[in-house]
Structure 1
Amino acid sequence: MSSSEYDVFLSFRGMDTRTTFTDHLYHSLKRVATVFRDSEGLERGKEMSELFGVIERSEIFIPIFSGNYADSKWCLQEIERIVKVAVEGERRRLILPVFYRTEPTHVRHQTGPFEAPFRKHEEDDKVEEETVKKWREALSIAAGFSGYERKNASYLMDSSRMLHIFKEDITITNTGEGTCMLQRILQNNSVLIVLDDVDQVEQVEALD
């Protein structure tokens, strides 16, 4: 395992995926890694600064971009800090975006379901123009990493096949450092990753 407190940090919009996709992904990854999701790692009412600290202590970031992601200022602050840590920090870390019922171009250019929320943020007197600009830039950068789309269907794979796919992504994004870490995390383990329209636990159990 890595020396960080968390191997994987999940960023997601609770109302979209907390009890479905994100929950399935979380429990699958927990088989082989330490995984953070704010529902259990951060008590309600804590300051955003504490969440930033968790991000600093994480190695791999999986933002799950869903239709209502950009509605949440919390999520946008989260992705801004993730990009800052992963891309601009002293050492590069890995971002693996998942596009859940949305398209990479929607996230990258803030169109589709991301367009209206940003108009709302720009019209909000409590949100500074520079802040909205940083949110846009963070989304564009994160969506530029090679990731996974819902249309890729479902994957039930052993660690070697999973590593092969991850290595292809890492090569594309020039984040070779992540390869060694993923090898350490996934070596000799099996992981289930569901990237499809799966909303019932029974559907996942049927794949085992």
Structure 2
Amino acid sequence: MNMWWFITTLAITAFICNSPAYAYDNNPLQDICVAVNDSQAAVFVNGKICKDPKFATANDFFASGLNVSGTAVPGSGAAAKFLTVDNIPGLNTLGISIGRIDLEPQGLAPLHTHPRATELITVLEGTLYVGFLVPDRANFFKSRLFSKILYPGDVFVFPIGLIHFQFNVGNKKATYLTAFNSQNPGFIFIPNSIFGSNPPIPDDVLTQGFQLSKTQITELRRKFS
């Protein structure tokens, strides 16, 4: 009997360990948990300290400014503005956030991922070419590209954690809203993360990984650092 329980437990453990793991925001255990910068507060949830609910106001759940473009990103032809828990403290524990992106013609939101969120975009103006990469199950050295040309009113979804991009292929500015199912989706820009790391990744790793010369690696570090 003891051996049977051991085998059963081992099988269940193996199944769980080989099952996909998901890292969505925790489900809230209370109606509101407004973030507050008060080290004396008693409740600490999702990386933020919660305000006593009786002191919460409507302004804790409000923000404005998505009618205008945000901060320009040097060298990309893009401007971005995000409303997260840092701008709307009432978002704490709710698992959502939103932003606005403006891309000049030929402007690019480069290859990047959001490790904690699925992203949904809605095009307001302009023409976008967007896409994301899914690993090939048959050959993990390859991937499949899902891409689409989007116009005003179109909606597109980038699954959680997958590498994706947005590129303005039109001749005028493109504007879109971006929504995440996380209060803090995270942003990992692939070229910057690889070639602009501190301390830097050793040259031998990068030259072999990308089949490039050390001179080319140095040039990429200069561009993305």
Indicate whether the TM-score tops 0.5.
no
Structure 2-normalised TM-score?
Answer: 0.26
Q: Which has the higher helix share?
A: 1
Larger RCO (alpha carbons 8 Å, 6+ apart): 1
Q: Which has the higher strand share?
A: 2
Larger radius of gyration: 2
